[in-house]
C-alpha cells in the first residue's frame, strides 16, 4: 500500500486550513483522551498568549500513515461537516490541519470526559444507576443535539452511543461528537444512502441488522439514544453483560467493538433488540425515563418518537425552557 503524501490545497480544503500555521506537539507530549478505529484523541493544553487565556483543544489524529485511504477520507469528511455545525449540544470545530507527515489532524473543543468514562467510573466506584435528574439532563442535551441534526441539518449521526457524548463539569454542558459516519437525510427523515450506514453493532437499530424490514431513517439515532439511557442505569455496554462460561479474558473497549474483535459466539450479542433492565430498584422519579426508554427502543421505527418530540417531552418533565440560540449562546471559545 502506498504511503500518504502531503495533500495539495484545493478549493474543498483551503477553507479548513487556518491562515496562521498551527504547530501541533508530538502525541507523547499530550494526554490521550480516547481512541476509535484508526484514530486517537488527545488533549492539547495550548500555551497562553499575552493577556489571553486559550482553551484546551481535543485533537483527533490518524494512528498510522499506512492506514487505508478511507480513514483519512472519513476524518476530512468529519472536519468539513463539523465546521458547518453550530449548536450548543454539538462539539465545536476549531481547525483541521496537515501534520509534518501529511496526515490530517482535526482540532475540536475539548470536554472533560465522555459519558462512557463517567459510566465506567461510577461502576468502578460500586455505585448504582445515575440519579434520575442527571439522566434527564443528559437526555435533554442529547435530544436537542439530535433534533438540530435531524431537522435543521438533515443529518443522521449514525453512531450514537455513550462514547460519543461529551460532558463538561457537573453536567453543565452535554455535547455530541464524532461525525465520521454521518449520513444525509431527505425531507422525510430517510437516509439517502442506506448502504453507507456503519454504526457500532451493539447500539444498532433493528432495521439496520435485518430484524425489521423498514428503511433506515433518523429513527436509528433514536433507538441508540434509548440504549444510552439504559447504559446510565445498567452501567454496562448494551448486550455485552451476559457472558458465557469460558476461559477467555475479554476486555471490551470501543475499539474492540468497532473492529469486531470481541466474537459474537463468546458474547451472546443480539444487536437490534431491547436489552433487559438489570435487577436494580428504581424509585418513581425514574418512571418517565423508563417510558422514554421503551418508546425509543420499539421494534418498529414509526413507533419511536422523533428527536423534536423527545425535546418537548424532556423540557416538560424537567421544567427547562427551550434553548435561546442567540449569538452569545453560539459564540466560539478560542
Cα of first residue to Cα of last residue in the chain, in angstroms, is: 38
What local confidence, expressed as pLDDT, does residue 256 receive?
52
Rg value, the chain, Cα = 20
How far from chain centre, in Å, is Cα 44?
A: 20
**SS3 assignment, position 130:** coil
Q: List the one residue out of 295, 317, 316 whose CA is nearest residue 306.
A: 295
Q: Could you tell me the three cell numbers for 54?
A: 486559550
What local confidence, expressed as pLDDT, does residue 274 receive?
94
What local confidence, expressed as pLDDT, does residue 328 receive?
44
Q: Is the dihedral of CA 225, 228, 233, 238 positive or negative?
A: positive
Dihedrals φ, ψ of 264, to 5°?
Answer: -70, -25
What local confidence, expressed as pLDDT, does residue 220 receive?
97
Q: What does pLDDT average to in each consecutive run of 10 residues of the chain (334 residues)?
A: 41 44 67 74 73 74 76 86 96 83 80 92 95 98 98 97 94 94 96 90 92 94 98 92 40 49 48 90 96 97 98 98 71 47
DSSP state of 4: P
Inter-residue contact 228 to 161 (CB < 8 Å):
yes
Residue of 159, 195, 221, 333 with catalytic role: 159
DSSP state of 158: -
What local confidence, expressed as pLDDT, does residue 331 receive?
45
Q: How far apart are CA 273 and CA 299, in angstroms?
A: 8
Specify which residues 309 forms β-bridges with. Answer: none
- Specify whether the backbone of 61 is left (phi greater than 0), alpha (psi in -120 to 50) or beta: beta
How far from chain centre, in Å, is Cα 79?
A: 15
Q: How far apart are CA 313 and CA 61, in angstroms?
A: 38
Specify which residues 165 forms β-bridges with. Answer: 176
Specify which residues 191 forms β-bridges with. Answer: 185
Q: How far apart are CA 102 and CA 151, in angstroms?
A: 36
125 is catalytic: no
DSSP string covering 215-263, please? --BTHHHHHHHHHHHHHHHH-S-TT-S-BPS-S------HHHHHHT-S-
The sheet carrying 173-176 orders its strands as 113-114, 165-168, 173-176
Amino acid at each position: 500500500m502506498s504511503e500518504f503524501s502531503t495533500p495539495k490545497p484545493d478549493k474543498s480544503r483551503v477553507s479548513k486550513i487556518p491562515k496562521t500555521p498551527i504547530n501541533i506537539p508530538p502525541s507523547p507530549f499530550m494526554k490521550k483522551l480516547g481512541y476509535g478505529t484508526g484514530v486517537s484523541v488527545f488533549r492539547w493544553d495550548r500555551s497562553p498568549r499575552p493577556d489571553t487565556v486559550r482553551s484546551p483543544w481535543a485533537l483527533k489524529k490518524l494512528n498510522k500513515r499506512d492506514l487505508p485511504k478511507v480513514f483519512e477520507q472519513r476524518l476530512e469528511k468529519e472536519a468539513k461537516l463539523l465546521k458547518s455545525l453550530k449548536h450548543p449540544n454539538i462539539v465545536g470545530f476549531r481547525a483541521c490541519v496537515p501534520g509534518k507527515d501529511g496526515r490530517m489532524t482535526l482540532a475540536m473543543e475539548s470536554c472533560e470526559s465522555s459519558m462512557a468514562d463517567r459510566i465506567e467510573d461510577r461502576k468502578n466506584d460500586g455505585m448504582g444507576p445515575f440519579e434520575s435528574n442527571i439522566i434527564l439532563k443528559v437526555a435533554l442535551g442529547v435530544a436537542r443535539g439530535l433534533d438540530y441534526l435531524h431537522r435543521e441539518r438533515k443529518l443522521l449521526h449514525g453512531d450514537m452511543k455513550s462514547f460519543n457524548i461529551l460532558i463538561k463539569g457537573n453536567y453543565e454542558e452535554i455535547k455530541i461528537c464524532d461525525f465520521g459516519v454521518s449520513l444525509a437525510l431527505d425531507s422525510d427523515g430517510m437516509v439517502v444512502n442506506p448502504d453507507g450506514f456503519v454504526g457500532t453493532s451493539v447500539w444498532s437499530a433493528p432495521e439496520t441488522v435485518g430484524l425489521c424490514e423498514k428503511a433506515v431513517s433518523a429513527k436509528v439515532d433514536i433507538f441508540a439514544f434509548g440504549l444510552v439511557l439504559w447504559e446510565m442505569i445498567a452501567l454496562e455496554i448494551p448486550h455485552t453483560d451476559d457472558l458465557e462460561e469460558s476461559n477467555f479474558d475479554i476486555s471490551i473497549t470501543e475499539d474492540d467493538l468497532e473492529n469486531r474483535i470481541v466474537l459474537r459466539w463468546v458474547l451472546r450479542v443480539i444487536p437490534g433488540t431491547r436489552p433487559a433492565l438489570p435487577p436494580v430498584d428504581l424509585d418513581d422519579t425514574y418512571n418517565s425515563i423508563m417510558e422514554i426508554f421503551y418508546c425509543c427502543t420499539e421494534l418498529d421505527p414509526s413507533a419511536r418518537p422523533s428527536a423534536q418530540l423527545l425535546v418537548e417531552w424532556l423540557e416538560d418533565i424537567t421544567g427547562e425552557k427551550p434553548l435561546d440560540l442567540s449569538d452569545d449562546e453560539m459564540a466560539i471559545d478560542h
